Structure 1
Amino acid sequence: MANAKLLQPFILRWEGGFVNDPLDRGGATNKGITIGTFRQFYGKDATVEQLKNITDEQWLHIFKSGYWNPWKADEIVNQSIANIVVDWAWASGPGTSIKQVQGVLEVVADGIVGPKTLAAINSADQRTLFADIHAARLKFVENIVRRDPTQARFLKGWKNRINDIKFEA
């Protein structure tokens, strides 16, 4: 079964520290946690300063509760599949990533990981499923830029990150 601790260093390596890029829709972000997400977990009055000083425990709580657990990733057999779907959730939100992957799996795209979604993930040929999710994710970020060309400056980085997730049996 997949292990959240194996994905954490990947996310932290790609996210870095505090940024507040005016063209980034997420706004103020630290270690990949946007101010909006931080406020969902720590109250609507949480400040950018508090986000700048996020603790490892707060980060881990958000990662597990907000991204790993909605995917029920502890129940995904292949670590590489868990990595690519949870990282997609991290980048685009759990509901979006779950629906996108459910589309790849050809199960009802309800945004909820239940027994049918998990069974479809775990019974699929893992290498093929990884490749299909990888391709869908690349197409997804390309479509973001197609809809909103101001996001083009992020495309290369998004693709590099996606391509950095490798399949391991």
Structure 2
Amino acid sequence: MADYKLAYSKILKSEGGYVNDPDDRGGETYKGISRKFWPGWLGWTIIDALKKAGKFPKKPVTPNEIEIDVQLQYEVSQFYYHQFWSKIGGDKIKNQSIAEMLLDAAVNEGIVPAIRRAQTIAGIAVTGEITDELITKLNKL
């Protein structure tokens, strides 16, 4: 089966570090997680506490420049796992490349559009929902 940790590491490379750009429609964002679109994410509580303690940057930085907070990094990983990987059936897909492409599409375009595209490619009914039929077809590619 596809390995979430490998797929996750690739997502992080493209999602970057921390930015709070008022011209960006997502606004304040950490590793691709926008406060505007995901205000209930537990990581924001950690980030806010780090800010209060003066341990979080006020300007855009790359991931390597951020002081690593283990719990925050765990929350990022769990976010991508639960919000995307599990919803695309990543643990059931055998081919790592296919799982990674589907995860990337889900993160950047949305889960339903990503699944619809996969269903179209697989030649099955387009519902936007992960089904056993889709997983079986993807695993035959």
Report the TM range for the smaller structure's normalisation. 0.7 to 0.9
- Give the Cα separation in 1 of the matches to 2:83 and 2:124: 23
Shift of 1:50: 6.7
Task: Determine which structure has greater relative contact order: mean sequence separation of CA pairs < 8 Å that are 6+ residues apart, divided by chain length.
Answer: 2
Alignment RMSD, CA only?
2.7
Contact 2:46 2:72 in 1 (8 A): no
Counterparts in 2 of 1:118 and 1:10: CA distance versus 1, 3 Å: same
Q: Which residue of 1 aligns with 2:132?
A: 115
Give the letter for the 1:111 counterpart.
G
Aligned: 1:3 with 2:3: yes
SS for the counterpart of 1:10 is helix
Deviates more, 1:63-72 or 1:52-61: 52-61
Q: Which residue of 2 aligns with 1:96?
A: 113
Aligned: 1:65 with 2:65: no
TM-score, with length taken from structure 1: 0.62
Any gaps of 5 or more consecutive residues in structure 1?
125-169
Contact 1:35 1:48 in 2 (8 A): no
What per-residue deviation string (whole Å, max 9, x for no partner) do you get for residues 51-107 of structure 1?
A: 987801211111100010001111111001001110111112212211122122222
Give the letter for the 2:107 counterpart.
W
What per-residue deviation string (whole Å, max 9, x for no partner) do you get for residues 22-71 of structure 1?
A: 454333211011114432544xx979847987801211111100010001
- Give the Cα separation in 2 of the matches to 1:51 and 1:98: 37
Q: Which residue of 2 aligns with 1:27?
A: 27
Counterparts in 2 of 1:46 and 1:109: CA distance versus 1, 3 Å: farther
Shift of 1:9: 1.6
TM-score, with length taken from structure 2: 0.73
Any gaps of 5 or more consecutive residues in structure 2?
57-70
Contact 1:26 1:35 in 2 (8 A): yes
Q: Which residue of 1 aligns with 2:64?
A: none
Counterparts in 2 of 1:50 and 1:116: CA distance versus 1, 3 Å: farther
Query: Deviating runs (4+, > 6 A) in structure 1?
Result: 45-48, 50-54
* Structure in which a larger fraction of residues adopt helix: 1
Share of identical aligned residues, percent?
31
Give the paired residue count: 122
Counterparts in 2 of 1:118 and 1:100: CA distance versus 1, 3 Å: same
Contact 1:102 1:109 in 2 (8 A): yes
Larger Rg: 2
